Amino acid sequence: MQKASLNSISQRRKKILITGSLAHFVHDGFSDVLFILLPLWATGLGLSHAQVGFLKMFLSGSMAIFQVPAGFLAERLGERVILFAGTALAGFAFIMLQTTNSFFGLAVCLLFAGAGCAVQHPLASSLISLAYKSGGRRPALGMYNFAGDLGKVTVPFFTSILISAYSWQVGTTTYGVVGLIAALTILIALISLKAGHEPTGHEPRVGQVEQITSGIIDLRGFSILSLISMIDSSARIGFITFLPF
């Protein structure tokens, strides 16, 4: 009886990991397919390098700004609702890209896409961390991060094939539809796994556990890792954005 219970827990953990990895794959695809689209938009719309940089900033900046609010919303509504809404919003924003033919229109769509993509990192990683709190958290998060890297490679590759065969509008619309399907899949999976639900009054919230430090136990270590991440992201993204030019 105990063995069957342990197997059930193990299966549930694996399914949560797969669901979180799917979210990471899809969302990293949203952000990194932009590196293929920017040169096409620059050529087709006559955009300057400054405007190209602004377009990338709109998506990345929006994604960064809304990550903390996404965490607070999840504290009230649960991870699965916010994760579904964010993924669906990003997918819808990509579908709407094909309706615009101006810098302003692209900027607005990318702002909404970035806001939708903001939910993935804090919420999917939280679901996986909670599922593996009794052990195996590091390998699980490693697999989760690998799924994101896979999305960064796979999505731009297949989208570029669609763009080559048809147009960038077909590429963005197709991946937008994929995003909507992924959002529904994630929601159904988390409901069936009873994960990421709305916290009840009897469940401890993150803010209640570490009210003084906001969940940050080692402030010095957190600050160092944050600085490394900022330097890495600014150098890497800046280089990749303008490499095609």
* Beta carbons of 16 and 197 less than 8 angstroms apart: no
Percent of the chain with pLDDT over 70: 82
- Domains (ranges, CATH) in the chain? 11-199 (1.20.1250.20)
Question: Which of 90, 142, 133 lies closest to 113 in space, CA to CA?
Answer: 90
Confidence at residue 234, expressed as pLDDT on a 0 to 100 scale = 66
Percent of the chain with pLDDT over 90: 56
Among 46-55, 62-71, 161-170, 210-219, which stretch is predicted with the lowest mean pLDDT?
210-219
Long-range contacts of 209-217 (CB under 8 A, 24+ apart): none
Confidence at residue 202, expressed as pLDDT on a 0 to 100 scale = 47
- Whole-model pTM: value is 0.84
Q: What is the pLDDT of residues 66-124, one digit of tens each?
A: 998 998 888 888 899 999 999 999 999 999 999 998 999 999 999 999 999 999 998 99
Residue 203 has pLDDT above 90, yes or no: no
How far is 235 from 226, CA to CA, in rounded Å? 14
